[in-house]
Amino acid sequence: MPQTIAEKIISAHGGRAVKAGEFVIADVDVTAVQDGTGPLTVAELKKAGFTKVVNPKRTILFIDHAAPSPRSELSNSQIVLRNFAKETGAILSEIGEGVCHQLLAEKYVNPGEILIGADSHTCTGGALGAFATGMGSTDVAIGMALGKTWLKVPETFKIAVNGKFKKGVGAKDLILHLIGLIGADGATYKSLEFHGDTVKNMNMADRFTLANMAVEAGAKAGLFETDETTRAYLKEHGRGDKFKLIQADEGAKYERVIEIDASKLEPVVSCPHTVDNVKPAAQLKNIKVDQIFIGTCTNGRIEDLRTAAKILKGKKVNAGTRTFITPASRDVMLAALKEGLIEIFVEGGASVQTPGCGPCVGVHGGILGDGEVCLSTQNRNFQGRMGNPKGNIYLCSPATAACSAVNGYISDPRDMK
């Protein structure tokens, strides 16, 4: 029977051919936690008497959410992860190395694998043709201890994107548009499978942006076929031998097919307090921005920083608009240094932060004041997300963020000279 990507990967890990709707116990290749969820995973394992993880070389503990830690309680939780790495041989990713999803892509997850991570944006790995999905601390604890998890094989929505983006429009606008179209629960429990010419012509950075936000429509995974672009990315990151061709079968069954003409899209912004509250940037030009944040697992890659630097080069950020830029990983930061992007940002009046999740999770690095507006390249704008329920968060692309940083108001990048 023809299969979707989700059905194929889960079948290969469950010992039998499965179709959407079935329940299966599946082998897990990679497990991951971060400093917000990992200490609970460790506590659950210890309470249950588990002293080992089955596959320490593919068990990764990331310290990225409070990096560096702003409080003693969080510093103490981070010690729990460091000790657990020593006890079990699991890999520790220290402060400064970067955001878990970026590092999982750069170093750890491969096409055709199953990754479960105790962070909702684990779905980012789907861009590499891996079934990558977010779960809670206990689910991941069991994955670490037994090398297995239970899954309901998801139904799949085929997202077919064709046409060329207009100038100033890109992957972030596409995914915000899609979420606006189907709603924040439009794909609950589903797998999104991205197809079409636009997607085939996309670099990996843009594919990661799309996969990353699958969960913002409620989806369990955001999956891509693998191709020469995937192969080149893996090779560049020292894992050329891990390439595997992942494709949906001709005739695979999709619950829904959504066609999008990329050439008709315009720069869009998600308005407070839900990701599906999407409006054209051009309609929001009267909104003054107090804080700009460019970074995160959604848009903190070198390609995103290049886009921002191109706009900010030789310009200053608006005096009333503090601007924070956070590369998603150490490698991204190094590349940005070597290419002179950091110099452009700093000369332009922006500040550059340690690679990590930064202000996106409301722990440190840019908590909003009452009534303040933040325009961010992150993936979520829930009330209270950035540390203050009285703050207002808008979401956009790196191009829209950089233009708005200069103007001090939400701006359409197509208007920028």
Partner 1 sequence: MKGKAWKFGDDISTDHIAPGRLFHLRSNLPEMAKHVLEDADPQFASKMSKGDFVVAGNNFGLGSSREHAPTIIKLAGVNAVLAKSFARIFFRNAINIGLLLVECDTDKINAGDELELDVKKGLVKNLTTGENIKITPLPDVMIKILDDGGLMAHIKKHGKFDLV
Q: What angle do CA 191, 193, 194 make, to 5 degrees?
A: 145
| Residues in 268-297 at the binding interface with partner 1, rule: CB under 8 A | 274
Among 172, 177, 195, 385, binds partner 1 (CB under 8 A): 385
Q: Minimum CB separation from partner 1 for residue 296, in Å? A: 13
Choose which of 283, 320, 389, 415 interacts with partner 1 (CB under 8 A).
Answer: 389
Q: Which of 2, 238, 371, 384 binds partner 1 (CB under 8 A)?
A: 384
Question: Number of residues in contact with partner 1, rule: CB under 8 A?
Answer: 57
Q: How far is the CB of 374 from partner 1 (least distance, A)?
A: 13
Task: Give the DSSP per-residue string, 147-185.
Answer: SEEEEEPPPEEEEEEESPPPTT--HHHHHHHHHHHH-TT
What is residue 362's three-state secondary structure?
A: coil
44 counts as binding partner 1 under rule CB under 8 A: yes
- Measured from the CB atom, is 54 or 160 closer to partner 1? 54
Find the binder of partner 1 among 20, 61, 63, 74 (CB under 8 A).
74
Q: Answer yes or no whether residue 138 interacts with partner 1 by CB under 8 A.
A: yes
Query: Cα(363)–Cα(382) distance, rounded to whole angstroms?
Result: 14
Under rule CB under 8 A, residue 113 binds partner 1: no
Asked if residue 406 lies in contact with residue 175, where contact means CB atoms within 8 angstroms, the answer is: no
Report the nearest approach of partner 1 to the CB of residue 347 (Å): 32
Pick from 104, 141, 174, 268 the residue near partner 1 by CB under 8 A: 141
3-state helix, strand, coil in the chain (%, to 5): 40, 20, 40
Contact residue for partner 1 among 3, 37, 229, 298 (CB under 8 A): 37
**Residue of 56, 68, 136, 280 that binds partner 1 (CB under 8 A):** 136
Question: Pattern of binders to partner 1 over 333-362, x per CB under 8 A?
Answer: ----------------------------xx
Q: How far is the CB of 250 from partner 1 (least distance, A)?
A: 29
Among 128, 386, 399, 401, binds partner 1 (CB under 8 A): 386
In the complex, least distance from residue 65 CB atom to partner 1, rounded to whole angstroms: 7
Nearest Cα residue to 365 out of 76, 66, 102, 103: 66
Three-state secondary structure along 365-395? Answer: CCCCCCCCEEEECCCCCCCCCCCCCCCEEEE
Stretch that binds partner 1, among 18-26, 173-181, 255-263, 395-403 (CB under 8 A): 18-26
Per CB under 8 A, the list member of 65, 207, 301, 330 interacting with partner 1 is 65
Per-position x/- string for 243-262, each x denoting binding to partner 1 as judged by CB under 8 A, each - no binding: --------------------
One of 66, 192, 268, 344 touching partner 1 (CB under 8 A): 66
CB 192 within 8 A of CB 133: no
Is position 83 an interface residue for partner 1 (rule: CB under 8 A)? Answer: no
Of 412, 406, 409, nearest to 314 by C-alpha is 406
- Which amino acid does the sequence have at 322? R
Long-range (24+ apart) CB contacts under 8 A made by 7-16 are 7/153, 7/156, 7/252, 8/246, 8/248, 8/249, 9/112, 9/113, 9/114, 9/130, 9/131, 9/246, 10/114, 10/131, 10/151, 10/153, 12/112, 13/114, 13/131, 14/151
Beta bridge partners, 62, equal 34, 93
Q: How far is the CB of 119 from partner 1 (least distance, A)?
A: 5
31 binds partner 1 (CB under 8 A): no
20/191 Cα distance (integer angstroms): 10
Residue 93: in which H helix or E strand, if any?
strand 91-93
**Shortest distance, position 229 Cβ to partner 1, whole Å:** 29
CA dihedral 298, 110, 95, 294 (to 10 degrees): -10
Residues 164-223 that bind partner 1 (CB under 8 A): 184-185, 188-189, 215, 218, 220
Contact call for residues 180 and 344 (beta carbons, < 8 A): no
Q: Is 135 in the site for partner 1 (CB under 8 A)?
A: yes
Rounded Cα gap, residues 62 and 351, in angstroms: 24
Q: Where are the alpha helices (DSSP H) in 225-329?
A: 228-236, 296-299, 302-312
- Tokens for 310? 């191109």
13 lies in the site for partner 1, by CB under 8 A: no
Distance CA 170, CA 192 (A): 19
DSSP state of 358: G
CB 123 to partner 1: min, Å: 10
Give contact residues for partner 1 (rule: CB under 8 A).
23-25, 36-37, 39-40, 44, 47-49, 65-66, 71, 73-74, 76-77, 117-120, 122, 134-139, 141-142, 145-146, 148, 150, 152, 184-185, 188-189, 215, 218, 220, 274, 361-363, 367, 380, 382-389
